[in-house]
Amino acid sequence: MGSIALEEAQPSFKTPWVQTPLVESASLSRAAGCRIFLKLENVQPSGSFKSRAMGNQILSHLIKPENANRPVHFFASSGGNAGLAAVCAARSLGYPCTVVVPLSTKPLMVQKLRMAGAADVIQHGDTFQAAGEYMREVIMKNKDENECENVAKIALHPFDNEPIWEGNSTLIDELATQLPPPAGEDEEATHRGRPLPVDAIICSVGGGGLLNGLVMGIERHRQLQKMSLSYASNPISHSQSNPIHLLAIETLGTDSLAAAVAKKSLVSLPKITSQATSLGAIRVSERTFQYAISPPQGIAVHSAVLSDADAARGVLRLADDHRTLVELACGVCVEAAVGDAARARPSTSSDALTAGTKKRKREDADYPSHRDEGYGDDGSSATETESEAGSEFQSKLKQLVPDLNSDSRVVIIVCGGSNITIDMAAEYKKLLNEGWGN
């Protein structure tokens, strides 16, 4: 799927990201009580959705007239997924990229940056802010003896500019073609007025670049919808009463959006205390905050915060059910969809009678209800109430969008991430079994 900037300019530049699969998850759908689709951004060249963001940002610079027919050198101050995506995108287009990271960056990430082909990886300072300032004020101003005289040195931002959001908006372009069309009159009525047939999309939030792109993509498709003849012949829209819900998920200790929403003002966290360091922007972008408190027509944005232990459960669910290994910043979205409902222990029949609820048995032969899959619980959604009564047995998804049913469609953006190994996942499993998060 081409970028907006690329389509308007030079077709000679290839797109440094790929269209990713959309798969429906039977196991997560069973646990969530609705249809769960996984948008597998973990298969991008850099291992995360950041390939879209950084790739389109790089393209936006390459098509500028002042950079035509001259050498270009990119610089990134993020040693996480954005830095890795910048290196992968720049290298795929034939340009060097230097990354400056703080001294606290783990050797695993430094090694991945070098292996991806970074021109150089420089460690400096205690924070990403300090690393970024050193990059701009020292590294980019230094004259390399092997450097061309007219080289264009370009600094890349990890999440806060328009080309980044436009790159991320291509996710919506793909979803519009990949989601199955509404089947039957009921589904057609449910999705009438929506620019794509989905009830909710779940994504994680660091600085907000992904959320911004999703909103922009939905808005673009809504405008296309308004221009279509079919829409003109049926001007009745249910977008205000039947919006697409966007769940913006953070971990406790990276929750800069939730803090801003609570105070109705942009705030900066004093520090990042979560293990989900990829979400570690102490302050979200202004655009993200505005979308959260005043989203466009037809979109409802919900902010939610889960624990690191919840995020680890999500990591293990994807590993066990889909043979997919992602980092905590991604696993937290999975747990937002299934949450406590999937961890609730089966009630006895007498409990059900006392509660006055009707129960449905949902059990997979491969994952019986009493088998411990390493989530620090029974790992099953074997017994659920139709009403999902009681917040202790509700996922964040069901709490925030209570009208969902078994036919509702929810997309989880599997954003991926490189800060994960098999050994780390095994440690999460051990800690959860020992009571982490309980």
109-118 confidence digits (pLDDT tens): 899 999 999 9
Write down the pLDDT at residue 235: 54
Class of domain 20-46+159-227+240-342+394-432: alpha beta
Residue 287 has, within 13 A of its CA and on its CB side, a CA count of 16
CATH hierarchy code of domain 49-154: 3.40.50.1100
Cite the DSSP H helix spans in 364-421.
396-400
Pairwise CA distance, residues 202 & 199, whole Å: 10
pLDDT for 9 beyond 60: no
Give the residue among 383, 377, 347 at the shortest CA–CA distance from 364.
383
Task: Look at 9-18, 275-284, 393-402 and tell me which has the smallest mean pLDDT.
Answer: 9-18
Q: Label residue 382 by pLDDT band (50, 70, 90).
A: very low
All residues at 6 or more sequence positions from 193 whose CB lies less than 8 Å from its CB, including other chains: 236, 237, 238, 239, 242, 298
Q: What angle separates helix 308-322 from helix 328-343, to the nearest 10 degrees?
A: 90
C-alpha distance across the termini of the chain, in Å: 43
**pTM score above 0.75:** yes
Q: Label residue 68 by pLDDT band (50, 70, 90).
A: confident
pLDDT tens digits along 16-38? 999 999 999 999 999 999 999 99
Is-same-fold flag (20-46+159-227+240-342+394-432; 49-154)? yes
Q: 246 and 214 in contact (C-beta within 8 Å)?
A: yes
pLDDT tens digits along 234-272? 555 555 678 999 999 999 999 999 999 999 999 999 988
Domain ranges of the chain: 20-46+159-227+240-342+394-432, 49-154
